Structure 1
Amino acid sequence: MNLKKTITQLPASPGIYQYFDDNGRLLYIGKAKNLANRVKSYWLFNPQLRPNPNLSSRIIKMLQQTTSLNYIVVNSEHDALILENSLIKQLNPKYNILLRDDKTYPYIYIDNSEKYPRFDITRKIIKSDDITYYGPYSIGARDILNSLYEIAKLVQKKGCLKSKKLCLYHQIDKCLGPCELPVSKERYQKEVDLATQLIKNKKLLLEKLQNKMEFYAEELRFEEAAELRDRMDKISRSEIKSEIDFASNENFDIFAVDHTDERAVVVRIFMRHGKIISSSHDYINLREGFDANELYSRALLDFYKDERPPIIAPILIAHAFEDLLLIQKHLSRVFEKKATITMPKRGKKKDLTALALLNARELLKKDTKTKDLKTFQDVQELCALENTPYRVEVFDNSHMAGVATVGAMIVYDNGKFDKKSYRTYHLDAQDEYAQMRETLSRRVESFSKNPPPDLWILDGGATLLKLALEILDSNGVTLDVIAISKEKVDAKAHRAKGKAKDIIYTKKDIFRLKESDKRLQWVQNLRDEAHRSAITFHKKTKLKLDQESKLLSLHGISAAKIQKLLNYFGTFEELKRLSIEEISAVLNEKDAKTIKNFYK
């Protein structure tokens, strides 16, 4: 069915629509309360089908590339919103704006129903009737918590009260010792009140930490002084400085978006009890232009996700956007109470959004282009990549004769390795091809929570490159992929004077670049980091396997029997979960009982 006919036959129902180009590449995913009306608004039908000239240049460019359309009907506009957000993350359409912020921000909380309550950290609502939350904190939550226990004489650890015996914390005057001493509730409450005051008043907290640091320095306890210095620095960086004081207990979550031609930034500021307590921001690479509605919608959907936050605050935004009421309705479901999203036009609330916008503009000014930008662009041109490879995921596998088989994924983001995003995988597959299939398949399964990057790089040749493209295609994801392998002479990796003769494989070409070529060196650097990560995880895994094998051998289970079990069940972790009957299917019942007793 041609595009015009598909459009004219769309149902007047809620749903999502997907535009594709002539290569089957997904260009754009949109949602609609009425599919027929929404999609028809993009087009003029006479004298022939063409884009509506009243649309933005970004959308017109997208429609000019469109040759086909798919759609999915759902029950409501709300369902369409959720499906659209999920599919954009998984499928990475060319013209949609993709946020990669999958963080959940921590809160500090205290359970006041306990006799001697203590502060701790959570990212979710705790099931208790008398919880008080403080936050969220973009950075520094753990540092604030540790500082409370440095200054206030609280029960330091969860298990302290169970011991019924005074410990070191009491001896060094960091705990009142209610585990053994008759500490009154009133006396302990004074310490709780002090800690609460320090959470609410960061300036006072930093002053007390400064005094502690100077004391440690005078006592020549330099390591402890240095630790407090670093902690103070992190706490100080967790918020935007402002003279705005509401002189009230009002809470607000403030969002602002600004952009240049190439990058956008989302700024979030959190005000609690009339004071700004923390802030955060994220940069977004604009592949095909800016869309305020899409960026605000995605920022709010991704931040609040589908879980009721511990503290629900009115939301202030710097700009109005098309889907405001729909997002507000969705968040009301998530919060289990009416959510409010407003764009203030005057007064102190307006000052807050102006502050967020000011910081967004400053962040864009400071956003110097990465030193590797020319290399990114050169690699993009050489390999005919769809997108500039700002964010890259690189994969490698490692094993020793089929033992301790692992996979590793490293992430390179805007000129530096993003080690928090690294992932490692225990693999069941035995050969290199199946191992890479398992690694990549598991990564694709996580796209809904952790969206695809701009580029995949594989440590391997044309066969693994083809495998990756097949996996992506079968999941409806269009993503640039290249592979790098060592040149082989007589089926062996060739090295000349210690230098690897590496080959880069793309979908259409093979490149043998000089060792001095910056593009080759860039790909090699990323491949080598993935190799290092895989080898490190392999060694760690094998050491653990060797230790468990030795312990089992001491209980009469031979190395041959252990290998037989691992070949059949995969890992020791799986072995621990099995019943005697299941193990007996591979070994005899006596050995099965020995193994179960060992793990007990």
Structure 2
Amino acid sequence: MPEKNTALQKKLENLPDKSGVYIFKNNKNKIIYIGKAKVLKNRVKSYFNQTEDNRIFYKKLISNIENIDWLITNSEKEALILENSLIKQFKPKYNIDLKDDSNFYSVKIDTTKEFPRLELVRVQKNDSSHYFGPYSSAASVKQTVGFLNKLFQLRTCSDYELSSRTRPCILYQIGKCSAPCVQKIKPKDYNEQIKRTIQILKGKTKILISELEEEMHKFSDDMKYEKAGEIRDRIRALRKTVENQIIVDSSFIDKDVFAYVIKNNDIYIQGLFIRDGIIRTYFHQTYPTFNRSEADVFLSFLNLFYSTAKFLPKEIIIPLENEGTQLLNEVLNIDSPNKLKIISPIKGQKKKLLDLCFENAKQNADTKQAKELEYDIAMEKIKDAFSLKNIPLNMECYDISNIQGQDNVASGVAFQKGRPNKKMYRKYKIKTVDQADDFASLNEVINRRIKKGITEDNLPDLFVIDGGKAQLSSSYQALLDHQIIDVDIVSIAKARNEKGTVDRFFIIGNNEPIFLKENSLELKILMNIRDESHRFAITFHRKLRGKKFKEDPLHGISGIGPIKRRALLKHFGNIGAIRQANLSELMGVNGINENQAKLIIESLKL
């Protein structure tokens, strides 16, 4: 049993024999974990009696618990609702971190309009529109919408453009739009294409192909060969999509199917989202169980998932049925009684769907576990290569971007267990440095990050600095200034050798560069975080420059004041001509020297 402070020990002894929510806090009184319990005393004490769980995350959770609070509820149902509310409010470090469902798109078709269009939306409203989805892959659904727009020549313009156009756009001229904006197609004919689009989105492509074949033969018999040829081309395009549309549910009731497997105290959850009989999209994610039963973690996941979801199906199919399942069913139906059913089938088509989901869960768990092992080994190798104090589960990389000191910015990107953690990405405008001084800029940024990290208790295990020994030294000074001794720091810089460009690393106390094994995963991880930091900094810098360019592209260029800006505009006539000018032409303007001309060319590249 882990050692506990006296105050914590007393709280453990005073835990009530009632249902409620327990809250773990660290030494800064920050909430790090929230859970619910049917009996608070039993659940909370079980964390400190666990001796077999050797996972790093579990050990970190237990070692960071310095205080415990709890809230008693009248029932386990109330505890479930309260747990969910508190998790969403405080977002504790060790609780389930759901994939934000704002990434999920649906296709909306408002058939009450004279000329409907396909719209991508994130929220399905309770209106008269047709909705198809959700789709987890934005790229996939955009590709589908593009295919349907092209196939049936549907409009892509806004309602305002539709009503205000007096002549068709270029899409009509190249055969990708039927130009309803200028009545090139009758509403009846246009809406026939919309009906066919809906057929495809419902998975009824084969039926549509059969109807189109009849129509094609009819046009051919009437010797309308051009029309017959158009339909033939549509049939060919549709046949290519049929292979990807497999009906898995003949009831055509919207349903979500979830299954899970447990491996090494982690739960691997798989979800299949079935709409109109077709698997529209899927979900798979891994969460630590943290000494809770697999059923409890799974049901907590479902509670959190559907409390934040924008799309509710008619049925949720899961592999278990117990008191918790009934409780969750009540909670999810609070706002819409008896509209949603949680089903645990033992036979029939629903059981086959559950088995399919389980097979996917098992396969994803095996694949992910093998991949996780590779990354765990790579993290250990990084620790050994640089003699780090910590395994760098959480690392952050920082880079500076400016043009001769102008629009000086920095980026901070975060990787968790070797992969991007975009929720922790940060952008910085440099405040204390007004010239091209990467060393001072890095010192400022690392100082700011440490101050915030101390307050929020979220400092990384490892800082990675894009640069050489000098950049490393200036960044390390920020750690010394705050007396931070338990966070590691390295820098990465490119160098040339007989083989070309290689990456070398520097650490404090060693003047010689360190090289990692070529093509190794550990090198790839560090190169990826450096490249991502560079990309993020450049993108932010260009965005700031772009804003200024919209106001005045010459504004902010060092040495180019109002008089010289007027002289340039008077000489060339407009910004476009200045942008096209070469060095000698720019130097031909009164008062513009060579350095200023080069700076103008560099600044106007955007």
TM-score tier, shorter chain, comes to 0.5 to 0.7
Q: Distance in 2 between matches of 1:403 and 1:189?
A: 55
Q: Secondary structure at the match of 2:546?
A: helix
**Cα drift, residue 71 of structure 1:** 0.7
Selected match of 2:8 from 3, 16, 20: 3
Q: Distance in 1 between matches of 2:453 and 2:60?
A: 28
Q: Please tell me whether the aligned partners of residues 424 and 537 of structure 1 are also in contact (alpha carbons under 8 angstroms).
A: no
- Structure 1 residues 265 and 305: alpha-carbon distance in aligned structure 2, compared to 1, 3 A threshold: same
Q: Please tell me whether the aligned partners of residues 410 and 430 of structure 2 are also in contact (alpha carbons under 8 angstroms).
A: no
1:324 alignment counterpart: 325
1:579 alignment counterpart: none
Aligned amino acid, residue 12 of structure 2 = I
Q: Distance in 2 between matches of 1:394 and 1:297?
A: 37
1:188 alignment counterpart: 190
Selected match of 1:407 from 390, 406, 410: 410
2:476 alignment counterpart: 462
Residues 137-164 of structure 1 deviation map (CA, whole Å, 9 limit, x = unaligned): 1221111111111111322322234313
- Structure 1 residues 251 and 378: alpha-carbon distance in aligned structure 2, compared to 1, 3 A threshold: same
Q: Distance in 1 between matches of 2:50 and 2:415?
A: 39
2:131 alignment counterpart: 133
* Structure 1 residue 346 corresponds to structure 2 residue 360: no
2:108 alignment counterpart: 109
**Cα drift, residue 63 of structure 1:** 10
**Cα drift, residue 120 of structure 1:** 0.9
Q: Give runs of aligned pairs for residues 413-562 of structure 1, distance below 5 A.
A: 423=425, 425-427=427-429, 429-431=431-433, 432=441, 433-436=443-446, 457-459=463-465, 460=472, 461-465=475-479, 481-485=487-491, 502-504=505-507, 515-518=514-517, 521=523, 525-526=527-528, 528-537=530-539, 539-541=541-543, 543-544=545-546, 547=549, 550=552, 559=561
Kindly name which structure, 1 or 2, has the bigger radius of gyration based on alpha carbons. 2
Aligned amino acid, residue 410 of structure 1 = V
**Cα drift, residue 123 of structure 1:** 0.6
Aligned amino acid, residue 341 of structure 1 = I
- Structure 1 residues 71 and 499: alpha-carbon distance in aligned structure 2, compared to 1, 3 A threshold: same
Q: Please tell me whether the aligned partners of residues 394 and 409 of structure 1 are also in contact (alpha carbons under 8 angstroms).
A: yes
1:118 alignment counterpart: 117
Percentage of matched positions with identical amino acids: 17
**Cα drift, residue 125 of structure 1:** 3.1
Q: Please tell me whether the aligned partners of residues 106 and 135 of structure 1 are also in contact (alpha carbons under 8 angstroms).
A: yes
**Cα drift, residue 40 of structure 1:** 4.2
Q: Please tell me whether the aligned partners of residues 504 and 515 of structure 2 are also in contact (alpha carbons under 8 angstroms).
A: no
1:220 alignment counterpart: none
Q: Distance in 2 between matches of 1:121 and 1:319?
A: 35
- Structure 1 residues 2 and 359: alpha-carbon distance in aligned structure 2, compared to 1, 3 A threshold: same
**Cα drift, residue 333 of structure 1:** 4.7
2:601 alignment counterpart: none
**Cα drift, residue 185 of structure 1:** 3.6
Residues 41-91 of structure 1 deviation map (CA, whole Å, 9 limit, x = unaligned): 5549xxxx97389x9898998998687432153775245312453378x44
Q: Please tell me whether the aligned partners of residues 251 and 313 of structure 1 are also in contact (alpha carbons under 8 angstroms).
A: yes
2:363 alignment counterpart: 362
Aligned amino acid, residue 153 of structure 1 = Q
- TM-score, length of structure 2 as denominator length: 0.65
Q: Please tell me whether the aligned partners of residues 307 and 334 of structure 1 are also in contact (alpha carbons under 8 angstroms).
A: no
Q: Give runs of aligned pairs for residues 202-281 of structure 1, distance below 5 A.
A: 204=206, 244-246=248-250, 248-261=251-264, 264-273=267-276, 275-281=277-283
Q: Secondary structure at the match of 2:183?
A: coil
Q: Distance in 2 between matches of 1:267 and 1:374?
A: 26
Q: Secondary structure at the match of 1:537?
A: helix
Q: Which segment is superposed worse, 517-526 or 168-177? A: 517-526
Q: Distance in 2 between matches of 1:347 and 1:163?
A: 55
**Cα drift, residue 258 of structure 1:** 1.6
1:582 alignment counterpart: none
Q: Secondary structure at the match of 1:540?
A: helix
Q: Distance in 2 between matches of 1:62 and 1:42?
A: 16
Residues 464-517 of structure 1 deviation map (CA, whole Å, 9 limit, x = unaligned): 4478998xx9xxxxxx95322489xxxxx9999998874446xxxx67775234
**Cα drift, residue 199 of structure 1:** 1.0
Q: Distance in 2 between matches of 1:29 and 1:435?
A: 30
If asked which structure has higher relative contact order (CA below 8 Å, sep 6+), I would say: 1
Q: Distance in 2 between matches of 1:559 and 1:259?
A: 66
Residues 328-367 of structure 1 deviation map (CA, whole Å, 9 limit, x = unaligned): 3443357687543232222211111111001111223444
Q: How many residues are aligned here?
A: 498
- TM-score, length of structure 1 as denominator length: 0.66
2:382 alignment counterpart: 379
Q: Secondary structure at the match of 1:383?
A: coil
Q: Distance in 2 between matches of 1:153 and 1:257?
A: 43
Q: Please tell me whether the aligned partners of residues 153 and 173 of structure 1 are also in contact (alpha carbons under 8 angstroms).
A: yes
Q: Distance in 1 between matches of 2:306 and 2:82?
A: 18
2:142 alignment counterpart: 142
Aligned amino acid, residue 67 of structure 2 = L
2:574 alignment counterpart: none
- Structure 1 residues 186 and 293: alpha-carbon distance in aligned structure 2, compared to 1, 3 A threshold: same
**Cα drift, residue 131 of structure 1:** 1.4
Residues 1-39 of structure 1 deviation map (CA, whole Å, 9 limit, x = unaligned): 53332123346573332166xx889997343367xx413
**Cα drift, residue 548 of structure 1:** 5.0
Q: Please tell me whether the aligned partners of residues 135 and 277 of structure 1 are also in contact (alpha carbons under 8 angstroms).
A: no
